[in-house]
């Protein structure tokens, strides 16, 4: 490789990696943002509490024939950390950090490049559809099967601390809430069934 070629490679390389930063491209192996960059200032801090037993049992699902059962990480054959994200985030309509970061404070130039209309988010996903499709396909249930999953439920406890109390080192003043999520199959999703997410 000649020195001129190396000059060209270097210029192109720097153009690509800096281009990713300027145009906010977060597609492996290039990125503009680490995972923990997002933060929304608030007077309170909400902290989820993981429930080992609930995670081991999995999602409470309702089948088409009216019966209920649990679907766990073992049933889906996925790692537990990923299953926790399904249980505590996707079930509640919350996307990954990449989505939150990609949607926030996007400059007019970056909105224009992506062809986004006013208030249109850069990333959006119908997590209810995705959950229903993914779980049923993985367990090999077709929409005509009696065992086809038509609903799934999850819940968790959240502890809400006031920053003022934390500063005064009084963490006994905590508000405890239980948040519940229920997703349901919609027949309007049937045309999408075969091609899934593609």
> Which of 16/66 has CB closer to other proteins?
16
> Which of 66/179 has CB closer to other proteins?
179
Q: Nearest Cα to 154, choosing from 118, 127, 116, 188?
A: 127
> Which of 51/145 has CB closer to other proteins?
51
Q: Residue 87 — φ and ψ, nearest 5°?
A: -70, -50
Q: Nearest Cα to 83, choosing from 143, 131, 142?
A: 131
> Which of 1/66 has CB closer to other proteins?
1
Q: What is the smallest separation between the CB atom of 182 and other proteins, expressed in angstroms?
A: 18
Q: What is the smallest separation between the CB atom of 77 and other proteins, expressed in angstroms?
A: 4
Q: What is the smallest separation between the CB atom of 132 and other proteins, expressed in angstroms?
A: 10
C-alpha 174/C-alpha 100 separation (Å) is 27
C-alpha 124/C-alpha 102 separation (Å) is 10
Q: What is the smallest separation between the CB atom of 34 and other proteins, expressed in angstroms?
A: 5
> Which of 83/150 has CB closer to other proteins?
83
Q: What is the smallest separation between the CB atom of 62 and other proteins, expressed in angstroms?
A: 20
24 Cβ contact partners less than 8 Å away, ≥ 6 residues apart: 32, 33, 102, 106, 110
C-alpha 128/C-alpha 126 separation (Å) is 6
């Amino acid at each position: 490789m000649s020195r001129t070629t190396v000059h060209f490679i270097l210029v192109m390389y720097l153009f690509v990696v800096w281009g990713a930063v300027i145009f906010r491209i977060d597609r492996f192996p290039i990125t503009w943002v680490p995972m923990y960059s997002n933060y929304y200032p608030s007077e309170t801090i909400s902290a989820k509490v993981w429930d080992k037993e609930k995670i081991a049992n999995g999602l409470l699902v309702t089948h088409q024939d009216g019966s209920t059962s649990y679907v766990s990480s073992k049933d889906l054959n996925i790692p537990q950390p990923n299953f926790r994200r399904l249980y505590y985030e996707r079930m509640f309509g919350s996307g990954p950090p990449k989505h939150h970061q990609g949607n926030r404070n996007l400059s007019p130039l970056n909105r224009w490049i992506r062809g986004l209309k006013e208030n249109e988010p850069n990333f959006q996903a119908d997590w209810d559809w995705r959950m229903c499709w993914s779980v049923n396909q993985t367990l090999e249930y077709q929409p005509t099967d009696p065992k086809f999953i038509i609903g799934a439920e999850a819940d968790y406890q959240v502890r809400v601390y006031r920053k003022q109390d934390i500063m005064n080192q009084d963490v006994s003043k905590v508000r405890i809430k239980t948040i519940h999520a229920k997703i349901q199959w919609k027949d309007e999703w049937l045309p999408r069934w075969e091609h899934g997410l593609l």
